[in-house]
Amino acid sequence: MSSNVSTSRRLLAEFVGSALLVTAVVGSGIAAAQLSPSDVGLQLLENSIATAFALAVLILLFGPVSGAHFNPVVSLADWLLGRSPRTGISGLNTLAYTVVQTLGGIAGALLANMMFDRQVLEIATKHRLTTGHLLGEVVATAGLIALIFALARTGRAGLSAAAVGAYIGAAYWFTSSTSFANPAVTIGRMFSDTFAGIAPGSVPGFVIAQIIGAVIGLALVMALYPDVASHADEVVVPHNHNPESTEKQLAKPTVLFLCTHNAGRSQMALGFFSHLAGGNAVAYSGGSEPADGVNSSAIAAMAEKGIDITREYPKRWTDDMLRTADVVVTMGCGDTCPFIPGRRYEDWPLPDPAGQPLEAVRLVRDEIEVRVRRLLSDLGL
């Protein structure tokens, strides 16, 4: 998304998105109870399918504006993880998100009540506070947080709509609590005395369990991906809530290295550029058909130069990368490489190191170093 999206627009997106999410949860619960009054299993199936589909659609609709958090623990995790590298949303935005998400959740429940000709304001009487339900909320929320941040770290945030929707739909069934996993949704569901409702006395326990689950999920994803904090601004859908950080990046030259698999040439170019630029420029890399991992010979060849690229991973280029790039360097991806008028393009016709012995990869590496040094000189660095 554009880093110039105003705070008011982001908050509006979070409010409306959260409201529609709860409307989908409560409304489908009411419809399920009416359509299948004697079959609780079928009611849950109808409720879970509607919720999963609605969540996926809402992420697609509002993600480019606000990131599509719709969940205070997601916003909190984004802030906690991104504090040090300053990649997540700010503390003030976290608080604002939480407020509008919660208000949206309440509004969504009231809207569902009105659509089904129920009393507009009603308080749920369905008690859910058991040890099993609380454990279910811990598990559901931990899995959700781990999934969202793992997708961001591995360059697959674009899959969040489908993946998050699928996870929540599945968690309806494999958790005893039917996977609330969201304080705003939990509070919203308190205002509808229906199939999807939750009694006020159960809400504090659920919210505490969700916070605990979020911490566990963050711990897990940090253990699996130690550098995940650098990708906090891509949760749930890539966004940037730190104007100061954005301005600093925009003040520096930005280069995008592209090849087919983003596993060899573009990764070595990124390694050299980041090492030699000394923080005075920004670089990204991407591929049209990302491989499963970085070429081991490329890793070994770069290690000989004292540059560690083991933490890098192949990823698909994104529109955000293209929009921010001052220079786009292509390496053998041909017509599959994107083109935007007005950008400076360079094509480096270098052989693909895939499947080549280390001796051949060294030659490609050395040519890339020469070209990177020349590019840095052209950029005045």
Question: Average pLDDT in the 273-279 region?
Answer: 90
CA distances from 146 to 39, 158, 266, 302, 353 (A): 33, 16, 28, 31, 34
Using 50, 70 and 90 to split pLDDT, how confident is the model at 86? low
pLDDT at 190 over 60: yes
Using 50, 70 and 90 to split pLDDT, how confident is the model at 191? very high
- Per residue in 8-34, pLDDT tens? 999 999 999 999 999 999 999 999 999
Shortest CA distance to 126 belongs to which of 64, 57, 43, 63? Answer: 43
Q: Poorest-confidence range of 142-151, 229-238, 364-373?
A: 229-238
- Cα–Cα distance measured from residue 339 to residue 317, given in angstroms and rounded to the nearest whole number: 12
Show Cβ contacts of residue 67 under 8 Å, excluding neighbours closer than 6 positions.
Answer: 1, 10, 78, 89, 235, 236, 237, 238, 239, 241
pLDDT at 248 over 50: no
SS3 286: strand
Phi–psi pair at 227, nearest 5 degrees: -100, 20
Torsion of CA 347, 348, 349, 353, to 10 degrees: -130
- Per residue in 45-59, pLDDT tens? 999 999 999 999 999
% of the chain beyond a pLDDT of 90: 70
Q: Which domains does the chain have, with CATH numbers?
A: 7-234 (1.20.1080.10), 252-378 (3.40.50.2300)
CB-side exposure of 140: number of CA atoms within 13 Å?
Answer: 29
pLDDT at 247 over 60: no
Structure tokens at 95: 């608080």
Q: Specify whether the CB–CB gap between 314 and 292 falls below 8 A.
A: yes
Residue with tokens 């509607």: 50
Per-residue pLDDT, 55 = 97
- Cα–Cα distance measured from residue 157 to residue 116, given in angstroms and rounded to the nearest whole number: 35
- Per residue in 286-332, pLDDT tens? 888 889 899 999 999 999 999 999 988 898 887 777 878 889 999 87
- Per residue in 197-244, pLDDT tens? 999 999 999 999 999 999 999 999 999 988 777 666 667 876 554 444
CA distances from 193 to 27, 89, 190, 206 (A): 12, 35, 7, 17
Per-residue pLDDT, 1 = 35
Q: Poorest-confidence range of 65-79, 151-165, 240-254, 363-377?
A: 240-254
Angle ∠(69,74,80) on CA atoms, nearest 5: 130
Using 50, 70 and 90 to split pLDDT, how confident is the model at 130? very high
**CB-count burial class (<10 Å; 0-12, 13-18, 19+) for 110:** buried
CB-side exposure of 170: number of CA atoms within 13 Å?
Answer: 11
Per-residue pLDDT, 230 = 64
